[in-house]
């Protein structure tokens, strides 16, 4: 977390606002991505790769993952009063299959030239959509249940093993 963002969280100055943004990516989405920002006005912000993107104003609630030693960290959010376009995109992605990638970023209203902290990239593990709302649970990779070492020593990987034993 950047020093400026830490200061904003600690002191809560009245002239500085944190803008929470979500980006949902899938090949079936029109344009490849849906970008939303929390608030009443659309914003144009520069992403970490230098690309300028427009985030559409939306009312959504975000439940950030807790910092803990649990293996799976989940970010939950819900979009209420979704338009037919958003619902159409979500349904097209569910029918097409494949993972929906979710990117969470925080920007400071005074500095939209870069995210205030590195983007958090997750994969949607649960998506529920109806004409009134879309509810998504996105997760980091599960480190606790990940195999270690992640490389399996087989004769294909280590040819000398076929002569052992």
pLDDT tens, N- to C-terminus, the chain (165 residues) = 566 777 777 887 887 888 999 898 998 888 888 898 888 899 999 999 999 999 988 888 777 766 665 666 777 877 776 667 777 887 888 888 888 888 989 999 988 998 988 888 888 888 887 777 788 888 876 555 667 777 777 888 888 877 776
**Domain range spanning residue 127?**
3-163
Q: How many CB atoms lie within 10 A of CB 122?
A: 21
Counting the structural domains of the chain, the total is 1
Could you give phi then psi for residue 105, rounded to 5 degrees?
Answer: -135, 155
Whole-number pLDDT of residue 81: 64
pTM: 0.76
Could you give phi then psi for residue 98, rounded to 5 degrees?
Answer: 85, 170
CA distances (Å), origin 73, targets 6, 69, 88: 22, 9, 28
């Amino acid at each position: 977390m950047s020093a400026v963002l830490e200061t904003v969280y600690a002191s809560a100055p009245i002239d500085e606002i944190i803008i929470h943004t979500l980006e949902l990516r899938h090949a079936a989405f029109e344009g490849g991505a849906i970008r939303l920002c929390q608030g009443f006005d659309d914003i144009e912000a520069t992403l970490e790769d230098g690309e300028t993107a427009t985030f559409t104003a939306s009312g959504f609630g975000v439940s950030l993952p807790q910092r803990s030693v649990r293996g799976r960290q989940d970010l939950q959010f819900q979009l209420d009063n979704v338009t037919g376009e958003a619902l159409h995109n979500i349904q097209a992605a569910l029918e097409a299959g494949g993972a929906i990638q979710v990117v969470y970023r925080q920007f400071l209203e005074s500095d939209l030239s870069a995210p205030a902290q590195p983007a958090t990239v997750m994969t949607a593990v649960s998506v529920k959509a109806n004409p009134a709302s879309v509810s998504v649970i996105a997760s980091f990779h599960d480190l606790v249940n990940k195999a270690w070492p992640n490389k399996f020593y087989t004769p294909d990987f280590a040819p000398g093993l076929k002569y052992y034993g």
